[in-house]
Amino acid sequence: MSLSSFLGEIEGRGIQPGLERIQCALDELELRNLDADVILVGGTNGKGSTAKRIESGYRALGFKTFLYTSPHLVHVEERFRINGVKTSTKDLDDAHTACLAKFPEGRCSAGLLTPFEWMTLVAGLLAKTQACEILVLEVGLGGRFDATNAFEPAVSVITGIDLDHMDRLGDDLASIGREKAGIMRDGIPCVLGATTQPWIDAGNALLEGRDFQLSRGAEPTFTLGDDCLELVGADPHLPVFDSSLALALATLKIHQDPSPSDFERCVRAAAASDWPGRMQRVADTPLLILDGGHNPSAIEWLVSALQRIYVDTRFHVIFGARPGKDHRSMVHGLRPILERLTLVGDREKFLVPPNTLADDLPEIGAFRVYEGPAIDLLKERTEPTLVVGSLYLVGEVLGDLGVDDELRVLA
């Protein structure tokens, strides 16, 4: 049975807090202590792009890397990347089959594993089988009880704190901060984004804005302590010049302390990396951008980047959101770049039905409710268009557009 099929069978197990099951399964497969350094990347927003930039930097230093992220946009194989390349279906299914032989029905001594726990177990076995030296693991939900936290990190990274998944993590920033801080360890280096404050005690961690920072300016620089590196040839107007790049460079610096020439390679690699579904430009004439931002802070970052790069451009926004999201604030945050708005759902019914969304929106003027697939709205577009609000929506659109292995649009 393939991994995709098995995940479909166990989907009903949902999300169950606790590390007992994944720790038990890792112990029984002798995967708790891998011959590799683990970088845990948690936080509310920017985890995927930060993890990708960290991985790119390590690869530039010559390490064999493993990148584990979530969710996937089109194919489950996207979650597992070796040296930057999506793992093959065969290699992934081989690792899954080996895990299934040890744990029929996905049951270890501590009980039935959830889908995310199972994928994390498969990731650990795949990384070990492929003899990867650096594992960059994106934390799935929260931190303290996330399956990735069963691995002991060499560095922990927390990108920021914002209101999201409040039904599971708590209804205020302090509660969410405590959950995210669960990936930190005493005596283990930690890198914190500026918006973790004041919700996480920075202590001896490296804190963005206090201990390191990325400065755009006419000549962009990265500063950490007394070290200041000019980012020669870098374009500070690109969306990559944000906290995710700063966090990636700080992680590489404190973990590897590369020479100046090696660090320049890290900078180039991290700055050149991009992440599908995050401000992804898929067409220029007319402009089409996809972004999976799904909470108010993600929308704020997106709008700021769009205003900086596409000055005075206003968009036809195609918007869909998952249940439990603050879609009122998200739509309100889009107003500075909004020309007109269309509300959509998705085929799998993961998103709030567009008519339901329409019943609870701020006063933004006229908008359209469209019950069909979002791709229909893109086929004959004549104006700059932004698809935003959920990674599920972006994934459906990417699949409909036709993409290659790296989720670049083919047609």
All structural domains of the chain = 3-272 (3.40.1190.10), 280-401 (3.90.190.20)
* Type of residue at 196: T
Token pair for 408: 């670049």
192: β partners:
158, 207
Residue-level pLDDT at 128: 96
Quote the Cα angle for 100-139-254, to 5°. 120
Is 286 in contact with 405 (CB distance < 8 Å)?
no
Residue-level pLDDT at 219: 79
The conformation of residue 258, written as its DSSP 8-state character, comes to: -
Measured in degrees and rounded to the nearest 5, phi and psi for residue 254 equal: -75, -25
**Whole-model pTM above 0.85?**
yes
User: What is the C-alpha to C-alpha distance for residues 90 and 100, in angstroms, rounded to an integer?
Assistant: 15
User: What is the C-alpha to C-alpha distance for residues 49 and 243, in angstroms, rounded to an integer?
Assistant: 10
Rg of the chain over CA atoms, in angstroms?
Answer: 21
User: What is the C-alpha to C-alpha distance for residues 364 and 261, in angstroms, rounded to an integer?
Assistant: 51
Residue-level pLDDT at 362: 65
pLDDT in tens, the chain (411 residues): 899 999 999 989 988 889 999 999 999 999 988 889 999 999 998 899 999 999 999 999 999 999 999 999 999 999 999 999 999 999 999 999 999 999 999 999 999 999 999 999 999 999 999 999 999 999 998 899 999 999 999 999 999 998 877 777 788 899 999 999 999 999 999 999 999 999 999 999 999 999 999 987 777 889 998 888 887 766 767 766 788 999 999 999 999 999 989 998 998 899 888 888 899 999 988 999 999 998 898 999 899 999 988 999 999 999 999 988 888 899 999 999 999 999 999 998 899 999 998 887 766 667 889 998 999 999 888 999 999 999 999 999 999 998 777 777 765
Which residue in this structure is represented by tokens 């599971």?
168
Residue-level pLDDT at 162: 86
Residue-level pLDDT at 125: 97
SS3 state of residue 39: strand
Residue-level pLDDT at 379: 87
Task: Determine the straight-line distance between the first and last CA of the chain, rounded to whole angstroms.
Answer: 32
Residue-level pLDDT at 410: 64
Residue-level pLDDT at 190: 98
User: What is the C-alpha to C-alpha distance for residues 205 and 143, in angstroms, rounded to an integer?
Assistant: 17
* Type of residue at 387: V
The conformation of residue 228, written as its DSSP 8-state character, comes to: E
SS3 state of residue 6: helix
